[in-house]
Structure 1
Amino acid sequence: MRAVVGLWRWRHNPLRRATDLTEAWVALAALLLMCLAAPAVGWICGALTNTSLQESARHEQRQRHPVTAHVLGRDEGSRPAAHDPEAATGNQIRRAVLARWTAPDGTAHTGALTAARHNADPGDTFRIFTDGRGRPVDPPMTAETAREQAVIAGIGTMLLAAGAVEGVRRIVVWRLVRQRYARLDRAWAQAGPDWGRTGAGS
């Protein structure tokens, strides 16, 4: 970050302009915000996100139940179920099967599922998650996964906050530079007609 470069303008010298001092204050404010405020905002966001995700994880764990599915045979005409996150790894390790399972309410269900290749033969069993009615669902979020996502959210928020501060600093500096050029143009316009004339301005 180049914001700290403006701090040298605090030194007492006759060439220091008002905009130099303003830029120095802006640089210091940006530095403090990026070092203190941005991490604080990221931590708060991460903590709030973690609280929310942990509650969601507990809710999913209450609503989604592990059950054992029994393979009845191959199901060549079905594609891997959309809710199965492991199916995305490819058909070479996942296989569509016709399976039977018992829902938490005791009702029996039969349908197409995806199973690991080594669990895809008739008579094999594998674990799935279902809702209260026995419909297959994604596995519930774990507390560790929720925590990892909260950390990512906090870091992302911190970086966004720091980037926003730096963006504002650059805009302020850009406006200060334009003011300097405008003043220089006005001063040049006043001195220009007499520039180089002997005794001009004396």
Structure 2
Amino acid sequence: MAATGRTRGAGGAGAWLWRWRRNPLRRGSDRLEAWLLLGTWALVLLAGVLGGRTVAGAVAHALAAHRAESQAARAVLTQDAVRTPWPRSEDGGGGVWTQVRWTASGVPHTGMAKVRPGTKAGTAVTVWTDNSGDLISRPATGDQARAQAAVVGALAGMGAAGGVLVCGRLLRRRLDRRRMEAWDREWEYVGPQWRSMPG
């Protein structure tokens, strides 16, 4: 009857709670499994929250540093931009890489920047440079940085929590294997006695 009740509760909270109740059928491995389950879920929560917050903070800090050292500069195309971006984007738009010239701290620079297809040489465009005057990617706005940090942090938190959950599952599987081995050893001892009992 006890085994039937345990099987029936295997899918609900009863399967977890029975390991904490006093029961003459409860084994040491059952008590160990209860602590393992509790520890696993506590670590899942902790790893998810701390991992997500740590990564989100690091991403937000990196984006803020990139934004702080970015400055807009006026550049001029030194050649005509091609009319068709290659590879063409799905909506038929997109920029093309073209050589531009700009001045930073009185020093002239040239480099490749993405501009609208078909832009003529001599057209002024805005580029983004670092403190050294080198071209860099356009910095994310405050809202974009917060959104990126939140998404990356959430993914990192889920990854950390999932890793802990997998480790807990592997430990439980190992514990189940040890219990089955103990069961087999007990059956090797009891089985012959049971079969030799008069019917």
* Shared fold, TM over 0.5: yes
Q: 1:11 to 1:122 in 2, by over 3 A?
A: same
Query: How far off its partner does 1:53 sit?
Result: 2.9
Q: How far apart in 2 are the matches of 1:45 and 1:133?
A: 28
Partner of 1:84: none
21-30 vs 125-134, which moves further: 125-134
TM-score of the two chains, using structure 1 as the length reference: 0.69
Partner of 2:4: none
Q: 1:130 to 1:182 in 2, by over 3 A?
A: closer
Partner of 2:5: none
Query: How far off its partner does 1:11 sit?
Result: 2.6
Counterpart among 41, 61, 65 of residue 72 in structure 2? 65
Q: 1:23 to 1:180 in 2, by over 3 A?
A: same
Aligned pair 1:74/2:80, yes or no? yes
Q: How far apart in 1 are the matches of 2:97 and 2:195?
A: 90
Q: How far apart in 2 are the matches of 1:55 and 1:134?
A: 16
Q: 1:184 to 1:109 in 2, by over 3 A?
A: closer
13-22 vs 105-114, which moves further: 105-114
Partner of 2:182: 183
In the alignment, structure 1 segments of 5+ residues that lack a partner are 81-86
TM-score of the two chains, using structure 2 as the length reference: 0.70
Contact 1:103 1:130 in 2 (8 A): no
Query: How far off its partner does 1:19 sit?
Result: 1.0
Contact 2:88 2:94 in 1 (8 A): no
- Matched pairs, number: 187
Contact 2:102 2:109 in 1 (8 A): yes
1:12-66 CA-to-partner distances (Å, cap 9, x unmatched) read 333221111111111112222223442133213322332233123212x1xx432
Contact 1:96 1:115 in 2 (8 A): yes
Q: How far apart in 2 are the matches of 1:159 and 1:106?
A: 49
SS in 2 for 1:195: helix
Query: How far off its partner does 1:103 sit?
Result: 1.0
Amino acid at match of 1:188: W
Q: 1:3 to 1:35 in 2, by over 3 A?
A: farther
Percent of residue pairs identical:
27
Query: How far off its partner does 1:135 sit?
Result: 5.4
Amino acid at match of 1:151: A
Q: 1:3 to 1:30 in 2, by over 3 A?
A: farther
Partner of 1:174: 173
SS in 1 for 2:115: strand
Query: How far off its partner does 1:106 sit?
Result: 4.2
Q: How far apart in 2 are the matches of 1:3 and 1:37?
A: 25
Q: How far apart in 1 are the matches of 2:163 and 2:99?
A: 53
Q: 1:14 to 1:133 in 2, by over 3 A?
A: closer
In the alignment, structure 2 segments of 5+ residues that lack a partner are 1-10
Counterpart among 39, 50, 66 of residue 49 in structure 2? 39
1:106-132 CA-to-partner distances (Å, cap 9, x unmatched) read 456677754314x62466443223456
